[in-house]
Amino acid sequence: MKEINGKKSYTLLILIVASTLLFSIIGNYWNKRYYHDENTYTMSTPPLASAMRGIHDKLYITDFSSLVADYAVDNLSILSTTAQAEEPAAETTQQPLSEIISNISPEATKATAGKATKIIKEPEVYEFTTATEDYFADACFIGDSRTVGISQYAGIENATFLCKTSLSIYDYNKPKITYNDEKMSIHDILAETQFAKIYLMVGINECGTGTPESFFERYKEVVNDIRKLQPEALIFIQGNLLVTQEKSDESDTITNENIAARNKLIATLANQKDIFYIDINESSLCKEGALVSDYTWDQVHIKAQYYPIWKEFLLRHAIDTGKTIVHNEPKTKE
């Protein structure tokens, strides 16, 4: 019995040594071929560790495919997550495994596939430019009472306005807007009608609700939904107009600090590619971080005769993508 156990132990030892040697060879090979340019797995990585990593990455399947098909399989599939996030990598030609094993002639080794480059077209970054009034022909304005004021007094005659007094970001899915003689939600309207430009400005009515961060989370959800419903539209996020210093000082919620905090957060959604941030507070309507008191009748809303300043500011912050303007039929204003 002891002799049998001794033979089993001896056999097990041989298997362990052989397996260690085999995995060391495989690990060293995978180290050189696949992990040579990774930050985590470098040439100094122990072969056994690389072998375990290679088994996890199923490199044996890759190598078998390369051996049977006699072509090189690149290692893009096992690039680290960090490397993928930084930049799409160019595909590189690897030496076929069959050439390494069979040690074929140098002439055959030279007959490898040419380098192929993966081309990904990035969206173009746009700068603001000045446009004429027909720029708004395919635009949709979404907002509260201040956008109602734009629809009535700014002199924009050819845009669609989905606006209502006291509208908030939390009303996006509620049937608050009269559109084609029917009460509908902004979400449903955008789902059935496409626009080339969408202007969004809400936030003053939310100052007493939640925090700037909770407002931003809902605002981001709405912008993402608009992006899905309107894939070709340019989205213009309008910063909320500040109030007068007097109003800010006397209020606990509608303060310029609160408005500015929310504007700062929603501005981060802009990418200058298809989403843009426009800060009306940079116009002459505001001075020294507050709405000019002479321009307002209630410390919050501007007087009718000053809305054209808003329109001109928007026209000086237009985006020209070179695409043909699609003119929509006039829609019901509210």
Q: Cα separation of 241 and 277, whole Å?
A: 13
Structure-model confidence comparison of residues 255 and 41, the more confident one = 255
- pLDDT tens per residue across span 214-257: 999 999 999 999 999 999 999 999 999 999 999 999 999 999 99
| Phi, psi values for residue 275, rounded to 5° | -130, 130
228 in any annotated domain: yes
Predicted pLDDT of residue 23? 77
116 in any annotated domain: no
Structure-model confidence comparison of residues 121 and 15, the more confident one = 15
Is the pLDDT at 38 greater than 50? The verdict is no
Is the pLDDT at 109 greater than 90? The verdict is no
**Mean pLDDT on 49-66:** 62
258 and 189 in a common domain: yes
98 and 241 in a common domain: no
Listed in order, strand segments (DSSP E) in 212-311 are 234-238, 275-278, 286-287, 290-291
- pLDDT tens per residue across span 259-308: 999 999 999 999 999 999 999 999 999 999 999 999 999 999 999 999 99
pLDDT band at 22 (very low <50, low <70, confident <90, very high): confident
Please give the full DSSP string across 226-267, using - where no structure is assigned.
HHHH-TT-EEEEEPPPP--HHHHHH-SSS-HHHHHHHHHHHH
25 in any annotated domain: yes
**Mean pLDDT on 316-332:** 67
Nearest to 138 by CA among 319, 328, 333: 328
305 and 166 in a common domain: yes
275 and 159 in a common domain: yes
Domain boundary among 79, 110, 141: 110
117 in any annotated domain: no
Predicted pLDDT of residue 50? 72
Share of the chain above pLDDT 90, in %: 58
Distances (CA, A) of 119 to 2, 72, 81, 90: 67, 20, 20, 8
**What is the overall mean pLDDT for the chain?**
80
Q: Is 184 helix (H, G, I), strand (E, B) or coil?
A: strand
250 in any annotated domain: yes
- pLDDT tens per residue across span 159-199: 999 999 999 999 999 999 999 999 999 999 999 999 999 99
- Provide the number of structural domains found in the chain: 2
The domain that holds 219 is classified in CATH as: 3.40.50.1110
> CA 178, 181, 182, 187 torsion: positive or negative?
negative
96 in any annotated domain: yes
Nearest to 93 by CA among 32, 53, 36, 33: 33
Is the pLDDT at 51 greater than 70? The verdict is yes
The whole domain housing 143 covers 133-315
149 and 96 in a common domain: no
201 in any annotated domain: yes
298 and 149 in a common domain: yes
320 in any annotated domain: no
The reported pTM is 0.62
Is the pLDDT at 87 greater than 50? The verdict is no
> CA 206, 208, 209, 215 torsion: positive or negative?
positive
272 and 168 in a common domain: yes
199 and 53 in a common domain: no
Q: List the beta bridge partners of residue 237.
A: 200, 277
Predicted pLDDT of residue 28? 76
Q: Cα separation of 197 and 220, whole Å?
A: 18
Structure-model confidence comparison of residues 321 and 123, the more confident one = 321
Q: What are 16's two structure tokens?
A: 């362990």
Is the pLDDT at 79 greater than 50? The verdict is no
Q: Is 323 helix (H, G, I), strand (E, B) or coil?
A: coil
85 and 15 in a common domain: yes
Burial of 124 from C-beta contacts in 10 A (0-12 / 13-18 / 19+): exposed
